[in-house]
């Protein structure tokens, strides 16, 4: 039987220095809740997801609009580790639309085979909290016919993703 091991971050800094990602023609950055967004320099924060009936009226999620996080230092240590966003806590179990770019997942720890699984309890917990946060934000304003918009960092335009119920 495979041993369940703790995920060990190599502190390579890759995930904190490659935050921007383009998928479905939309450039996206590190997702941030309301509170998390206030912990970053405001010029580095953009809206990410908004809801409304006819236009993106209420922003329910923010994002970092730069590729390299301002809090990763030259030793690859997060300078806001205790206060890091839920998305960082969940990494490399990612919630939402971020893809997994962790170098450890394709990295063999001595004595551990690729088929071994990581426990990832803390990461899963953060991922669930993030998903719940977004659901609850939308639930607060829910009404029939609600649409969801995503902000494209490349074009600085909102893109309609359709009715909330159909997503
Ligand atoms: S807040 Fe910390 S963990 Fe999150 S991207 Fe920035 S440096 Fe990395
Ligand atoms: S990419 Fe993976 S190993 Fe590297 S710093 Fe991020 S979580 Fe740690």
pLDDT value of position 167: 60
Residue 152 pLDDT class (50, 70, 90 cuts): very high
| In contact, 33 and 133? CB cutoff 8 Å | yes
Q: How far apart are CA 141 and CA 120, in angstroms?
A: 32
| In contact, 105 and 15? CB cutoff 8 Å | no
Q: How far apart are CA 97 and CA 134, in angstroms?
A: 13
The pTM of this model reads 0.89
Residue 120 pLDDT class (50, 70, 90 cuts): confident
Please provide the average confidence, as pLDDT, over all residues in the chain. 87
Q: How far apart are CA 89 and CA 153, in angstroms?
A: 23
Q: How far apart are CA 101 and CA 98, in angstroms?
A: 9
3 state DSSP class of 152: strand
Residue 7 pLDDT class (50, 70, 90 cuts): confident
Q: Tens digits of per-residue pLDDT, 62-117?
A: 999 999 999 999 999 999 999 999 999 988 776 555 666 677 765 555 565 555 67
Asked whether 102 lines ligand 2 (CB < 6 A), one says: yes
Asked whether 78 lines ligand 1 (CB < 6 A), one says: yes
Collect all residues with Cβ–Cβ distance below 8 Å to 27 and sequence separation of at least 6: 20, 21, 152, 153, 154, 155
| In contact, 59 and 47? CB cutoff 8 Å | yes
Collect all residues with Cβ–Cβ distance below 8 Å to 137 and sequence separation of at least 6: 60, 61
Name the residue ranges covered by the structural domains of the chain: 4-166
Nearest residue (CA) to ligand 2, atom 1: 102
pLDDT value of position 115: 58
Phi first, then psi: give them for residue 45, nearest 5 degrees: -110, 135
Asked whether 129 lines ligand 1 (CB < 6 A), one says: no
pLDDT value of position 6: 76
Asked whether 77 lines ligand 2 (CB < 6 A), one says: no
Q: Which of 80, 86, 91, 130 most suits a substitution to test ligand 1, by most atoms within 8 Å of the C-beta?
A: 80
Nearest residue (CA) to ligand 2, atom 8: 9
Angle subtended at Cα 123 by Cα 121 and Cα 127, rounded to the nearest 5 degrees? 115
Asked whether 91 lines ligand 2 (CB < 6 A), one says: yes
């Amino acid at each position: 039987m495979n041993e369940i091991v703790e995920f060990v971050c190599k502190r390579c800094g890759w995930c904190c220095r490659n935050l921007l990602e383009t998928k479905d023609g939309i450039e996206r950055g590190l997702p941030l809740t309301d509170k998390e967004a206030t912990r970053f320099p405001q010029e580095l924060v953009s809206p990410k997801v908004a809801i409304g009936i006819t236009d993106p009226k209420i922003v329910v999620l923010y994002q970092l609009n730069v590729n390299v996080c301002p809090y990763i230092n030259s030793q690859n240590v997060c300078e806001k580790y205790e206060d890091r966003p839920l998305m960082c806590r969940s990494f490399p179990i990612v919630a939402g639309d971020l893809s997994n770019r962790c170098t450890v997942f394709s990295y063999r720890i001595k004595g551990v085979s690729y088929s071994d699984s990581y426990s990832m309890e803390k990461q899963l917990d953060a991922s669930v909290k993030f998903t719940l946060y977004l659901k609850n934000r939308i639930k607060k304003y829910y009404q029939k016919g609600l649409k969801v918009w995503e902000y494209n960092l490349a074009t600085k335009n909102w893109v309609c993703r359709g009715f909330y119920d159909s997503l």
